[in-house]
Chains A and B, each alone.
Chain A
Amino acid sequence: MHIPDGFINPEIAIVMFIVAIGFLVLAWKKVRQTYSSSFASVIGISSAFIFAAQMINYPIALGTSGHLVGGTFLAVLLGPWAGMLSMTIVLLMQALFFADGGLMAFGANAFNMAIIGALSFYVVKYMNRNPNSIKSFASSVFAASWLSVVVGAIACAVQIGLSSMFANAGGIVVTIPAMLSWHIIIGIGEGAITMSLLVALKRLNPSVIGGLLMLKAKKVQP
């Protein structure tokens, strides 16, 4: 879902930069307020793993592949704001060093994957009403990660659909269904992988799921 340079118009790229920077400043402030620097190793290792995991494309159908984005994974593990920052670092390194995702399109890519991915945390928060049930946790994580990919793909479809490169092809009326048709399938992969990883981690050591700890701490002190 990484948009290369040239796919979106400069004015759309600029708007997406402004929106992304707004969210990232907020995330930066939240992390500053609530995290101790002893979190550095957990956040660092999880982002490093997501970078590696994003390199592995899995085939879906008809000569198309997808790969894990990991936005929901990081958000549930680290909390939404730290997850947003760590995913942004992954995307920034991909753009700077590997030309995976354009530099001009960076704001759009950060919005579609890091910000939407991190906000999917609130889907888990809303759906996971029974914190002691693994089933409830697993299904809410699956739904949140599937949604994060599908909503990200719609955002991407709107950005490219409004741009001149895709104007001849028909614009958003064409790009939205086209992007959706692949990403509702890719999202199932995202959901399955994220769910397996987080359920395994939760079974192994429930306290590593920092994002959920954060939720519980908030509920205790209104």
Chain B
Amino acid sequence: MKKYLIALGLIALFLVVFIPFASNEPDGLEKVAENLGVEEHEPAWKGLMHDYSTGLVEDPFLSTLLAGIFGTVLVLIVTIVLVKVTAKKPSASKTVLKES
């Protein structure tokens, strides 16, 4: 549990440091679409937090930070559960790779 909290703390710190510098310009694909006059429709499914903003707080920095932390925790939990379900129990077989 401790290693997860440390990891989440470090990732949160990474977001705090880098979100203010993140570019809001369109990415490569969005730019190509823009230049070719192809418009992105409003998505049918907007997700909980469209464009990584929570809607809970006004401040754009905090809003993005909260969305980022939510997503980070979500990815962490889903991945761990999936790997625990998929992978073998430790020492189940000699061919199994072990974390060194």
Chain A interface residues toward B at CB < 8 A: 1-7, 28, 31-45, 47-53, 55-59, 63-67, 79, 82, 85-86, 89-90, 93-100, 102-103, 153, 156-157, 160, 165-166, 168-170, 174-175, 178-179, 182-183, 186, 207, 210, 213-214, 217
List residues of B (44-81) whose CB comes within 8 Å of A's CBs.
44-52, 64, 67-68, 70-80
Q: Note all chain B residues with C-beta closer than 8 A to A36.
A: 87-92, 96-99
Apart from the given pairs A38-B90, A52-B15, A56-B21, 17 other A-B contacts in the complex at a CB distance below 8 Å: A31-B86, A34-B96, A39-B97, A40-B80, A40-B87, A44-B76, A49-B7, A63-B26, A64-B26, A66-B27, A98-B67, A157-B32, A166-B36, A166-B38, A175-B32, A178-B36, A182-B31
Min CB gap A2→B, angstroms:
7
Would you call B23 and A45 a contact (CB within 8 A)? no
Closest to A28 in B: B86
Would you call A213 and B71 a contact (CB within 8 A)? no
Would you call B28 and A153 a contact (CB within 8 A)? yes
The docked-state distance in angstroms from the alpha carbon of A99 to that of B3 is 30
The docked-state distance in angstroms from the alpha carbon of A190 to that of B29 is 16
Residue among B22, B40, B68, B79 with the highest chain A CB neighbour number at 10 A = B79
Residue pairs across A and B with Cβ atoms less than 8 A apart, 26 shown, are A4-B43, A7-B33, A31-B86, A34-B97, A36-B96, A38-B99, A41-B99, A43-B83, A44-B75, A44-B77, A51-B75, A52-B14, A53-B14, A55-B15, A57-B22, A63-B26, A64-B28, A65-B23, A97-B70, A99-B51, A153-B28, A153-B29, A157-B32, A160-B29, A182-B31, A186-B27
The docked-state distance in angstroms from the alpha carbon of A23 to that of B20 is 37
Would you call A65 and B27 a contact (CB within 8 A)? yes
Would you call B79 and A35 a contact (CB within 8 A)? no
Number of B residues with CB within 8 Å of any CB on chain A: 67
Q: Note all chain A residues with C-beta closer than 8 A to B90.
A: 36-38
> B22, B27, B51, B91: which contacts A98 (Cβ < 8 A)?
B51
Chain B interface residues toward A at CB < 8 A: 3-4, 7-8, 11, 14-15, 18-19, 21-29, 31-33, 35-38, 40-41, 43-52, 64, 67-68, 70-80, 82-84, 86-92, 95-100
Would you call B79 and A63 a contact (CB within 8 A)? no
Supposing A4-B43, A36-B90 touch, asked if A55 and B22 sit within 8 A by C-beta, the answer is yes
Would you call A178 and B96 a contact (CB within 8 A)? no
Closest to B25 in A: A65
> A32, A86, A93: which contacts B71 (Cβ < 8 A)?
A93
> B18, B70, B74, B83: which contacts A35 (Cβ < 8 A)?
B83
Would you call B31 and A89 a contact (CB within 8 A)? no
Q: Note all chain B residues with C-beta closer than 8 A to A3.
A: 29
